[in-house]
């Protein structure tokens, strides 16, 4: 079986209130990954700004931008210059009063290959995303690029096996999760460890049950709660790439910024799925109740 190697880069960094500095850091990370040979480069969720969803503030809608827009123009030019595919995460202004948490894919010729609007929107202490984001309306459709079919999802989507499965069923060769997740500093170390491990296990399970690599990119650093009602969020990093059997191919630091590159052989997905043919053995004739919220 012929190899199909793709070098994948991940850019994990901290953020500040300085949008220009954050974006420069992101672009420097893209350049560093490309210099190491990466052809597919994945960025963390909402990489332009602080994670603003800790509070509900209408002024923060000013952070949103159109797609196409300033960020996609800059990232597209960079993708073309470096001959790479970039998965970016933006606060999309679709219309006044209508906003999405959107991942956009820039092709190596600088064009927009496609985008995905986050489908599952959390609303929890410190993560008040329903105030800002309308749930996506584009479904679970992979984006075709020069490096393969990308099953791009976003953060909270990573906890739901349905999205991963639907992307795989539509031919995704990678599952990709730009992410912003961290701890409440008030939780004890044991609870923090359980949360982090659950996050990694859930996504490695998507790799196993669908026989495709998973790329998950998180941010690092502490971000204060502007309202002062909590101790903010300590983002836990741990960006990683898992192979089609859930094996860890790359695992970044918990605290430090990092630009990492790893080889992925997509021929392994073919081989693994021949041995473990989960799609063959699915019993779709008995899954109708999955369309219910709950079986009462």
Query: What are the tens digits of pLDDT across the range 65-84?
Result: 999 999 999 999 999 999 99
Domain count, the chain: 1
Please identify which of the residues 53, 115, 155, 260 carries the catalytic annotation.
Answer: 155
Q: What is d(CA 296, CA 273) in angstroms, rounded to the nearest whole number?
A: 35
4, 12, 113 from 199: Cα distances, Å: 28, 16, 29
pTM beyond 0.75:
yes
pLDDT at 247: 98
Q: What is d(CA 202, CA 194) in angstroms, rounded to the nearest whole number?
A: 12
pLDDT digits over 109-118, tens only?
A: 999 999 999 9
pLDDT digits over 13-30, tens only?
A: 999 999 999 999 999 999
Q: Is 25 a catalytic residue?
A: no
User: How would residue 258 be classed by pLDDT, with cut points 50, 70 and 90?
Assistant: very high
pLDDT at 256: 97
Range of the domain at 215: 5-291
* Short-list 248, 214, 249, 252, CA closest to 235: 252
Of residues 2 and 150, more confidently modeled: 150
pLDDT at 1: 54
Q: Is 45 a catalytic residue?
A: yes
Q: What is d(CA 145, CA 233) in angstroms, rounded to the nearest whole number?
A: 34
pLDDT at 3: 58
Identify the DSSP state of 256.
S
pLDDT at 2: 52
Secondary structure tally for the chain: helices H, strands E: 6, 17
Q: What is Dmax (Cα atoms) for the chain?
A: 57
Q: What is the pLDDT of the chain when averaged over all its residues?
A: 97
pLDDT digits over 47-71, tens only?
A: 999 999 999 999 999 999 999 999 9
Please identify which of the residues 7, 118, 223, 260 carries the catalytic annotation.
Answer: 118
pLDDT at 269: 95
Is there a domain that residue 81 lies in?
yes
Is there a domain that residue 9 lies in?
yes
Is there a domain that residue 282 lies in?
yes
User: How would residue 151 be classed by pLDDT, with cut points 50, 70 and 90?
Assistant: very high
Scan for tokens 């590159």, then name that residue: 261
Mean pLDDT of 155-178: 98
Instruction: Give the domain CATH number at 56.
Output: 3.60.110.10
Is there a domain that residue 251 lies in?
yes
Residue 279 in tokens: 């799609």
Is there a domain that residue 202 lies in?
yes
pLDDT digits over 88-144, tens only?
A: 999 999 999 999 999 999 999 999 999 999 999 999 999 999 999 999 999 999 999
Is there a domain that residue 296 lies in?
no
Please identify which of the residues 39, 45, 129, 260 carries the catalytic annotation.
Answer: 45
Is there a domain that residue 100 lies in?
yes
Is there a domain that residue 90 lies in?
yes
């Amino acid at each position: 079986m012929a190899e199909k190697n793709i070098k994948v880069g991940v850019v994990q960094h901290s953020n500040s209130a300085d949008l220009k500095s954050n974006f420069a850091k992101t672009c420097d990370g893209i350049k560093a990954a490309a210099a190491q040979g990466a052809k597919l480069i994945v960025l963390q969720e909402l990489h332009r700004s602080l994670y603003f969803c800790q509070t509900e503030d209408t002024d923060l809608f000013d952070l949103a931008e159109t797609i196409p827009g300033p960020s996609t123009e800059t990232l597209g030019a960079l993708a073309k210059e470096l001959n790479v595919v970039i998965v970016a995460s933006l606060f999309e202004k679709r219309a006044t009063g209508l906003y999405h948490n959107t991942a956009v894919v820039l092709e190596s010729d600088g064009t927009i290959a496609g985008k995905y609007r986050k489908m599952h929107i959390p609303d929890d202490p410190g993560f008040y995303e329903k105030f800002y984001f309308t749930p996506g309306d584009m479904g679970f459709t992979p984006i075709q690029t020069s490096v393969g079919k990308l099953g791009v999802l976003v953060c909270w989507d990573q906890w739901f096996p349905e999205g991963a499965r639907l992307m795989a069923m539509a031919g995704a060769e990678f599952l990709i999760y730009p992410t912003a997740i961290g701890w409440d500093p008030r939780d004890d170390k044991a609870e923090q460890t359980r949360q982090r491990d659950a996050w990694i296990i859930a996504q490695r399970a998507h790799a196993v049950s669908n026989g495709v690599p998973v790329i998950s990119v998180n941010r690092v650093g502490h971000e204060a709660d502007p309202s002062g009602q909590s101790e903010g969020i300590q983002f836990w990093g741990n960006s990683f790439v898992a192979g089609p059997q859930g094996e860890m191919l790359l695992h970044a630091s918990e605290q430090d910024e990092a630009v990492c590159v790893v080889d992925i052989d997509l021929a392994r997905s073919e081989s693994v799925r021949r041995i473990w043919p989960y799609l063959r053995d699915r019993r779709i004739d008995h899954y109708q109740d999955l369309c219910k919220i709950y079986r009462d």
